[in-house]
Amino acid sequence: MRVHIGTDHAGFELKNRLAAALQDKGHEVTDHGAHTYDAVDDYPPFCTDVGEAVVADPSSLGIVLGGSGNGEQIAANKVAGVRAALVWNEDTARLARQHNDANVISVGARQHSEDELESLIDLFLAEPFSGEERHQRRIDLVARYEGTGGYGDTAAPATP
């Protein structure tokens, strides 16, 4: 599988080790940076680069790393067509793919051991989308809102 990966300084060394481990497992990895350590670099460009690459190649998946993964998820999700999921345990890794067809995983380099992160990423990459109609319907609603700023006549969010 083609995998796009990116991080700022918070996950720099880890990214390099994860990329090598993924390549050893047979994945084709594209590194979107950072390519040098800079303690004051900013994560958004690395994350949006990953997102743009994943959208351009729908058969690929992406990984964004940061200290917590929160900002990285937010940045990646600014790219139209990205469904980035913040993953912190095995269930969220599997469900991100099964139910949401997430195409980018966001993880916190400072929140887990390297072995835990590698395991979460492996689970995410291996898990297929369930294809269930209810999940696809929800993904389609999100995409419709993303593209038009509304849901159209087919669905409306519940109001209190």
Active site residues: 72, 99
Taking each helix axis from N to C terminus, what angle separates 114-126 and 12-24, rounded to the nearest 10 degrees? 50
- For residues 92 and 85, what is the distance between their CA atoms, to the nearest angstrom? 8
**Whose CA is closest to 49, among 102, 13, 4?**
4
- Asked if 131 and 101 touch (Cβ cutoff 8 Å), the reply is no
| Number of alpha helices (DSSP H) and beta strands (DSSP E) in the chain | 6, 5
Opening angle at CA 131, ends 93 and 53, nearest 5: 60
